[in-house]
């Protein structure tokens, strides 16, 4: 199961599950490079950032924003 880092609150990261529910995880247990919007998954031992899927998702979001802006000009 993959999770999206929704936000950081104090020492916790709020992760959104694929079903729309949330899970709090101490920030210290996530990879140092983890940031809001990253897709992560538990590999049975540690949390891992799914870099390819995160980048693909960010690129799709940027393309969507560009499309919206072009429609308003």
Instruction: Please state whether the predicted TM-score (pTM) of the whole model is above 0.85.
Output: no
Sheet holding 39-42, edge to edge: 22-26, 12-17, 2-9, 39-42, 47-49
For residue range 64-73, list pLDDT tens digits in order.
Answer: 999 999 876 6
* Domain covering 2-71 assigned CATH 2.30.30 in the classification: yes
Which residue is it, tokens 């308003």? 72
Give the chain's mean pLDDT: 94
Longest dimension (CA), the chain: 49
More confident residue, 36 or 71: 36
Task: Give the model's confidence band at 53: pLDDT under 50 very low, under 70 low, under 90 confident, else very high.
Answer: very high
Residue boundaries of the structural domains of the chain: 2-71
For residue range 8-21, list pLDDT tens digits in order.
Answer: 999 999 999 999 99
């Amino acid at each position: 199961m993959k999770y999206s880092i929704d936000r950081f609150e104090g020492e916790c990261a709020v992760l959104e599950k694929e079903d729309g529910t949330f899970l709090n995880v101490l920030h210290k247990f996530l990879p140092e490079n983890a940031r809001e919007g990253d897709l992560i998954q538990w590999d049975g031992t540690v949390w891992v950032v799914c870099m390819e899927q995160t980048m693909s998702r960010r690129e799709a979001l940027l393309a969507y924003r560009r499309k919206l802006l072009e429609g308003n000009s």
